[in-house]
A and B are shown apart, each in its own frame.
Chain A
Amino acid sequence: MPQGDYVELHQKRYGKRLDHEERKRKKDAREVKKKSTMAQKLIGLKGKMYAKQRYKEKVEMKRTIQQHSERNNKHKVDDNVAEGAMPAYLLDREQVARAKVLSNTIKQKRKEKAGKWEVPIPKVRPVAEDEMFKVLRSGKRKHKSWKRVITKATFVGENFTRKPPKYERFIRPTGMRMNKAHVTHPELKCTFQLQIIGIKKNPNGQMYTQLGVMTKGTIIEVNVSELGLVTPGGKVVWGKYAQVTNNPENDGCINAVLLV
């Protein structure tokens, strides 16, 4: 039998004081002030503990209020209409990589003329000549040094015929020749292995473009006929430009991003 129930016992026997309710209301009203003075007064560990407890209480209270007002809350209408509307006959169908038409052929041609491209990698590290070429010493005594071996990945066209080796100034090693690139379509977010058609521009210089050197940032032309892209005229696009995004000479493969 607990010993501290004498107040309850007294109330049971004789009833509450006549002004009990009034006093209780006032006490409750003062409680907040009291709590806040406590919160300000307590310092150290006690203060920390008190703050934590008060925080918990407040969270609990807020949650309860929210639960009660759930019914009256104004809910936002589901107006988030999904992007990419499709007709009824295409819904529920597995969609293959979609054909995106070239934005505007004329615009593209104009850009091409100006030689300006909005490219994913706008700035490239300049490659110095001694990094690009290795001097190959020739002659019987190896004292001539006018031959150069290219140390980067190159693209050599299919119908390329070597010059007589005696007069060949630039040697493109067969081990570094590449004719396929892994091209990522930025909108479809998927990658295809595509045939390289040619080198459009090497930012390091006109000479490298002509030699077919592929370094990071080089713009190459790839065969995209597999992707099923179409022009506004309804023709299949087969050549499109892509920019090399890796260092092919280090990786042994070419990764590129399609320019759309």
Chain B
Amino acid sequence: MAEEKVEGNVIAQLVTSDGESTGPQLDLPPDLTHEQLEALLNELLTNEEKVPYAFFVNDLELTGATELSSLIQDVSVESVLKIVYHPQALFRVRPVARCSSTMKGHTEAVLSVQFSPDGRHLASGSGDTTVRLWNLNTEGPDKTCQGHKNHVLVVSFSPDGKQLVSGSMDKDVRLWCPKTGKARGLLKGHREWITSLAWEPAHLAYPSRRVASASRDTTIKVWDTATNKCEFTLSGHAKAVSCVKWSGEGLIFSSSRDTMIHVWETGEGKLIRTLKGHGHWVNTMALSTEHALRTGPYDHNSREPPEDPEEAKQIARARYDELRGGRPERMVSGSDDFTMFLWEPNEDKKHLARMTGHVQLINQVQFSPNGQWIVSASFDKSVKLWDGATGKFITSFFGHIAPVYQVAWSADSRLILSGSKDSTLKIWEVRTRKLKMDLPGHEDEVYSVDWSPNGWRVCSGSKDRCLKIWRN
């Protein structure tokens, strides 16, 4: 079939991702390119700094190489063409390309790695019962935190970057100082191992005080780290809790293996609503605002936030509000029943969308830092990309030859990192929907990956007892 060439001009309307129209209807030439449209929009919005935008016509992206006419399917002079635009990050994260160092030290598999919100510290929890802090300037070992009596399963930095919490197989949660590596406290109370940790967002409490821990003993406990006491226990699940998230609205979401997701209020720990839908274990959850919640007052430049806690809180609040953008927070959950659900758990217990496509269980889901995309890692060896607002399927990334365990986003939402059982990491580019970089090097399964919030480094922890730092 011959391509139908559009003759004459097109009447178009620029629309934000929320569906609001911007400016008047425009009479655009069909050979309009991406740069011209970007310049036009910047002019319309009277942006002082030029902001990069991505444009979509009927969910097809207008990229640098194509012209507007190639995206138009049904030519009608009378209908108005809707061009949806998404603002993109002003900065660019360069894709990591090489392994800059292999950090040895752990004597057992590395189970979790995490960068601090300012990207200056790195912590790892291992099967050798220690938490280690690494020096990112020399890329060598810095501090070893001993105390746990069994495998350290999760580590988590507080959004203000001043505390580190670790959960272990020995049923304890421990607090550490990320600067000195000294033990700050021991939170005892769970009767089974800890599966997940979540800090109270920085725009609700600064400096961070409260942390929620989910355990296999079906409860979630909320701890006050100033007094090292358990504030309250959230019990209601029938099976092990797999994941806990603290939303920006001050609610706690918990997913469990009893197929339910509970929403809790954090004043007294009352159950607000239960989200039902999954048919098997719920493994993972992600929030659309998670990037802002994780990094708190730190932006991509990892500048120190102001000393005054009120001011820092304001910054964190502004970052959170900007990312939320007028819409309620969305949450996506991935399950053993091979599906994902998109919810607005602050508002409603009905789901927005059910996302099917994977043919094996979903191990991790992640919202992109700007909330535009969702990426899911599955045991069916694929990574899939979904629309963050509607939950529509976008594309699949094939390339791994074993189950994909973890995924991470670059801070500019342009690149995806995936770590797999096949011992490699892979970098995928969202725009081209192709493999950008293959990063072999580990000698065994990659258990944990993280991209630093300032975008400079990627860290991966593996079963071969090494951490690897990857840089561009």
Contact call B440/A87, Cβ cutoff below 8 A: no
Q: Which of A79, A90, A228 is within 8 Å of B149, CB to CB?
A: A79
A235 to B423, CA, bound (A): 9
Give the shortest distance, in Å, between B236 (CB) and chain A (any CB). 20
B283 located at the interface, meaning its Cβ lies under 8 Å from any Cβ of chain A in the complex: yes
Our pick among B128, B151, B422 for the contact of A230 (Cβ within 8 Å) is B422
Partner among A85, A98, A230, A232 whose Cβ is within 8 Å of the Cβ of B127 = A85
**Residue B339 is within 8 A (CB to CB) of chain A in the complex:** no
- Do A228 and B402 have beta carbons less than 8 Å apart? yes
**Residues on the A chain within 8 Å of B126, using CB:** 85
Instruction: State whether B443 touches A86 (Cβ < 8 A).
Output: no
A81 CB within 8 Å of chain B: yes
Map CB proximity to A onto B430-470 as digits: 1 under 8 Å, 0 otherwise: 00000000101111110110000000000000001000000
Instruction: Evaluate contact between A232 and B443: CB separation under 8 angstroms.
Output: yes
Q: Do the beta carbons of B441 and A232 come within 8 Å of each other? A: yes
CB nearest to B361 among chain A residues: A93
B149 lies within 8 A of A87 (CB): no
Is the CB of A129 closer than 8 A to any CB of chain B?
Answer: no
Question: Given A77-B149, A88-B195, A232-B443 in contact, is the A99-B422 Cβ separation under 8 Å?
Answer: yes
Known contacts A233-B440, A234-B438; A86/B422 CB under 8 A: no
Question: Would you call B363 an interface residue if the criterion is a C-beta within 8 Å of the partner chain's C-beta atoms?
Answer: yes
Q: Which of A85, A98, A103, A228 contacts B151 (CB 8 A)?
A: A85
* B447 in complex: contacting residue of A77, A87, A233, CB < 8 Å: A87
A77-B149, A236-B401 in contact; A89/B283 too (CB < 8 A)?
Answer: yes
The answer to whether A99 and B402 touch (CB under 8 A), given A85-B151, A232-B442, is yes
A101 at the interface (CB under 8 A from B): yes
Bound form: Cα–Cα A225–B153 in Å: 32
- Residues of A in contact (CB 8 Å), total 27
A100 interfacial by beta-carbon distance below 8 Å: yes
User: On chain B, which size bracket covers the interface?
Assistant: 35 or more
Asked if A89 and B109 sit within 8 Å, CB to CB, the answer is: no
Of the candidates A78, A83, A99, the one having the most CB atoms from chain B within 10 angstroms of its own CB is: A99
**SS of B interface (majority):** loop
Bound-complex Cα distance A92 to B150 (A): 16
Query: Given A81-B151, A101-B423, A233-B424: A89 and B405 within 8 A (CB)?
Result: yes
User: When chains A and B are docked, how far (Å) is the Cα of A92 from the Cα of B257?
Assistant: 11
Chain A residue at smallest Cβ distance from B126? A85
In the complex, A91 has a CB within 8 A of chain B: yes
Task: Tell me the bound Cα distance from A90 to B242 in angstroms.
Answer: 11
Query: B366 within 8 Å of A by Cβ?
Result: no
Residues of A within 8 A of B332 (CB): none
List of B residues within 8 angstroms of A79 by Cβ: 149
A235 B401 Cβ-Cβ under 8 A: yes
Q: Which of B150, B194, B423 contacts A234 (CB 8 A)?
A: B423
B142 in contact (CB, < 8 A): no
Q: Which residues of B contact A234 (CB under 8 A)?
A: 400-401, 420, 422-424, 438, 440
Residues of B within 8 A of A78 (CB): 149
Closest to A92 in B: B240
Contacting A at CB under 8 A, from B386-418, are: 400-402, 405
Interchain CB contact (< 8 A) of A87 among B216, B424, B448: B448
Contacts A81-B151, A87-B448 known; list 9 others, CB within 8 Å.
A81-B129, A85-B126, A87-B405, A87-B447, A88-B194, A91-B216, A99-B423, A101-B443, A101-B444
The 3 closest A-B pairs by CB, nearest first: A85-B127, A234-B424, A233-B440
8 pairs from A and B in contact (CB 8 Å cutoff): A87-B112, A91-B153, A100-B444, A101-B464, A230-B423, A232-B442, A234-B400, A234-B424
